[in-house]
Amino acid sequence: MNALRAFEAAARLGSFSAAAESLYVTHGAISRQVRSLEEWLGTALFERHGRRVVLTGPGREYFLAVQSAFQNIAGATRRVSETGTQRRLTLDALPTFTMHWLLPRLTRFQLRHPGVELNLITSDRPPDQSMDFDLAIRRGPLELPGYVTREFLVEREIPVCSPALLKRLPLREVRDLKRHTLLSSAGRHLSWQRWLSEAGAQGLEPRGRQQFDHFYLTLQAAVDGIGVALGPRPVIDRELDAGRLVMPLPGPTVPSRAYYWLVPEGRANDPALRSFCDWLLEEVGSAHD
């Protein structure tokens, strides 16, 4: 187990020194444990590059298996220790999705499952084995080794803006976008190109364009009347219902990337996680009714 712990830390951190620091042992102890493991396996797990180490092909495959096993043990330990107490789930979800879709609905889950405490993290980082979560939500398609994934929500994009902006600059048909500033984000930089093509206006040149690093800033800029954004439904339905945003054009609505949940394979049968996944599907289904 000590050799496996030394290998996992060195592989995750890319350094024997960093692994030694994280495990409170010496650099030499890490080196000896890894060398012993390599001799036992009969293959090199790392390539040494000065102070850095890089996994070999077999090393990378072994690392994924070892880290998954450690996560499964940690998860099982936590579940056993929490028996009879409040269960805690760590959710890692996209910022915009969390703000506009998930948070407004979470009260319904908590009322139904008062014994489940939710620890919510927002991130747009691609999931990997170094991240500690029970469930992550990302846009797909996604198929990652070591995870159970499922599509649960499909976006459809349509232009949206503030009512105040429409009073200043009417937007009655697609060609009226020439008088507007089109808002976008770095993660969705091709959305307007795709939508204009679907609307038959590939060559349209707007008055201006403005791009933000996060999509929730793009939506806030639309609410503040800075320009027109492509709003993904049903994620922004709350803003539409409240009148903070309006849809000035009847269409087209263009399908965008779907949302997927990811659950580590070792936790897929956890009752609390299954309850949360079932609840997500219910919420999506109720929105379509």
| Pick from 2, 237, 272: nearest CA to 102 | 237
Q: How many domains does the chain have?
A: 3
Residues 146 and 161 in one domain: no
Residues 71 and 131 in one domain: no
Average pLDDT over residues 222-240: 93
Q: How confident is the model at residue 83 (pLDDT cuts 50, 70, 90)?
A: low
Q: How confident is the model at residue 79 (pLDDT cuts 50, 70, 90)?
A: low
pLDDT at 78: 63
CA angle in degrees (0–180, nearest 5) for 184-217-171? 50
Residues 163 and 248 in one domain: yes
pLDDT at 80: 61
Residue 106 burial by CB count (10 A; 0-12/13-18/19+): exposed, middle or buried?
Answer: middle
Rounded Cα distance, 71 and 107, in Å: 29
Residues 168 and 243 in one domain: yes
Residues 127 and 181 in one domain: no
CA angle in degrees (0–180, nearest 5) for 261-128-55? 155
Residues 245 and 160 in one domain: yes
> How far separated are the first and last CA of the chain, in Å rounded?
52
Provide the domain limits for residue 105: 86-154+258-288
Q: Of 64-68, 207-211, 223-227, 258-262, which range is least confident?
A: 64-68
Last residue of a domain, one of 28, 47, 79: 79
Q: Of 94-98, 129-133, 168-172, which range is least confident?
A: 129-133
CA angle in degrees (0–180, nearest 5) for 55-59-61? 115
* % of residues, the chain, pLDDT over 70: 94
pLDDT at 203: 87
Strand order in the sheet with 135-139: 116-122, 87-93, 135-139, 259-264, 147-153
Q: How confident is the model at residue 287 (pLDDT cuts 50, 70, 90)?
A: low
Does 103 have pLDDT greater than 80? yes
What's the whole-number average pLDDT of the chain?
88
Average pLDDT over residues 94-109: 92
Q: 257 and 232 in contact (C-beta within 8 Å)?
A: no
Q: 230 and 210 in contact (C-beta within 8 Å)?
A: no
Q: 71 and 129 in contact (C-beta within 8 Å)?
A: yes
Residues 150 and 262 in one domain: yes
Residues 146 and 209 in one domain: no
Last residue of a domain, one of 32, 58, 79: 79
Residue 271 has which token pair?
């009752």
For residue 134, give the CATH number of its domain. 3.40.190.10
Q: CA neighbours within 13 Å on the CB side: how many for 222?
A: 28
Does 105 have pLDDT greater than 70? yes
For residue 60, give the CATH number of its domain. 1.10.10.10
Q: 120 and 258 in contact (C-beta within 8 Å)?
A: no
Q: Which residues contact 14 (CB under 8 A, 6 or more apart)?
A: 52, 53, 54
Q: Which residues contact 164 (CB under 8 A, 6 or more apart)?
A: 225
* Whole-prediction pTM: 0.67
Residues 168 and 247 in one domain: yes
Residues 150 and 165 in one domain: no
Rounded Cα distance, 31 and 15, in Å: 10
Residues 8 and 72 in one domain: yes
CA distances, 133 to each of 86, 95, 106, 213, 237 (Å): 17, 15, 18, 25, 28
Residues 43 and 73 in one domain: yes
Place of tokens 């791009």: 211
* % of residues, the chain, pLDDT over 90: 54
Last residue of a domain, one of 49, 79, 109: 79
Does 136 have pLDDT greater than 90? yes
Q: 182 and 264 in contact (C-beta within 8 Å)?
A: no
